[in-house]
């Protein structure tokens, strides 16, 4: 499948001198349109910029093609000024869906956010968090004593989830990864793999003396007492990759690293 984005590209930069210079040069070659008028976004930076950009296009689902000017660049393509329109035309697409988080804080106020990588809960003081885990209305773990816990999408399974020793999920798998962060009790519990239709509720135990914050990608809410998470198929984002370097292939490669 080929795409025609000629004259409809918007370039965004992470703001580093190198990325800004590259964005300026590309605008001179290929032109540039306003972000909201673009048919494709070209993001120059690292995975952090890519995540920010994907959140910006969440409702429009304009595809995003990244070129690496960061330290990791797992979701980015190599940088080149040459023949960008042909690269975009031949790019492979990957569709990913976010998690929807609904959180209630200790004052009773509700908060909502979307997360493409993961929703995480963290202890906010020196005391360990105590968290009840409810899946589809049934309590599966009455009390997890830990530093925190996260629920990850397949796209986010190679990020913080992997650092917390969670499983890597294939991008197209209809699954979510639940991974504890420094679990103390039950000590041997290492998490769970859930179907993507599951609704997960985390309930803070002793929240007044063991405060917890909830984070959806880069949005944080403090002093939460209850967090409900499920996959949201009404929103989605499309990433573009050079042929042979799709996100599916990168995740597969990651599983065989040692």
Whole-angstrom Cα distance, residue 48 to residue 28? Answer: 25
Does residue 185 sit in helix, strand or coil? Answer: strand
Residues 6+ apart with CB under 8 A from 244: none
Please check if 147 is assigned to a binding site. Answer: yes
Please check if 112 is assigned to a binding site. Answer: no
Catalytic-residue membership of 47: yes
Please check if 94 is assigned to a binding site. Answer: no
Please check if 249 is assigned to a binding site. Answer: no
Whole-angstrom Cα distance, residue 226 to residue 216? Answer: 14
Q: Which of the following is catalytic: 4, 36, 47, 105?
A: 47
Residues 6+ apart with CB under 8 A from 256: none
Pairing state between β 148-152 and 219-221 = unpaired
Please check if 223 is assigned to a binding site. Answer: no
Does residue 139 sit in helix, strand or coil? Answer: strand
Whole-angstrom Cα distance, residue 202 to residue 15? Answer: 37
The side-by-side arrangement of strands in the sheet containing 110-115 is: 110-115, 99-105, 224-231, 200-205, 129-135, 138-146
Please check if 160 is assigned to a binding site. Answer: yes
Please check if 47 is assigned to a binding site. Answer: yes
Please check if 158 is assigned to a binding site. Answer: yes
**Strand partners of residue 219:** 216
Please check if 155 is assigned to a binding site. Answer: yes
**Strand partners of residue 213:** 122
Whole-angstrom Cα distance, residue 169 to residue 189? Answer: 19
Please check if 159 is assigned to a binding site. Answer: yes
Please check if 226 is assigned to a binding site. Answer: no
Please check if 114 is assigned to a binding site. Answer: no
Annotated binding site: 47-48, 117-118, 147, 155, 158-163
Which residues participate in the annotated binding site for NAD(+)? 47-48, 117-118, 147, 155, 158-163
Query: Catalytic amino acids?
Result: 47
């Amino acid at each position: 499948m080929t795409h025609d984005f000629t004259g409809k590209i918007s370039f965004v930069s992470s703001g580093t001198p190198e990325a800004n210079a590259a964005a300026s040069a590309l605008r001179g070659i290929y032109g540039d349109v306003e972000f909201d008028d673009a048919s494709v976004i070209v993001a120059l930076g690292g995975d952090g910029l890519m995540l920010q950009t994907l959140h910006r296009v969440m409702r429009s689902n304009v595809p995003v093609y990244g070129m690496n000017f960061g330290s990791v660049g797992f979701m980015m393509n190599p940088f080149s000024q040459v023949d960008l329109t042909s690269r975009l035309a031949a790019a492979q697409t990957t569709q990913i869906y976010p998690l929807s988080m609904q959180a209630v804080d200790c004052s009773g106020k509700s908060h909502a956010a979307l997360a493409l990588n993961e929703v995480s809960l963290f202890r906010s003081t020196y005391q360990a968090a105590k968290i009840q885990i409810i899946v589809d209305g049934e309590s599966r773990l009455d009390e997890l004593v830990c530093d925190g816990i996260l629920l990850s999408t397949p796209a986010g399974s190679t990020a913080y989830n992997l650092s917390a020793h969670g499983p890597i999920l294939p991008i197209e798998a209809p699954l979510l990864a639940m991974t504890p962060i420094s679990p103390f009790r039950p000590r041997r519990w290492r998490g769970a793999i859930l179907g993507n239709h599951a609704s997960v509720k985390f309930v803070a135990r002793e929240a007044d003396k063991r405060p917890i914050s909830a984070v959806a990608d880069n949005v944080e809410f403090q002093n939460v007492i209850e967090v409900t998470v499920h996959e949201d198929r009404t929103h989605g984002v499309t990433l573009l990759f050079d042929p042979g370097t799709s996100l599916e292939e990168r995740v597969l490669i990651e599983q065989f690293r040692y």
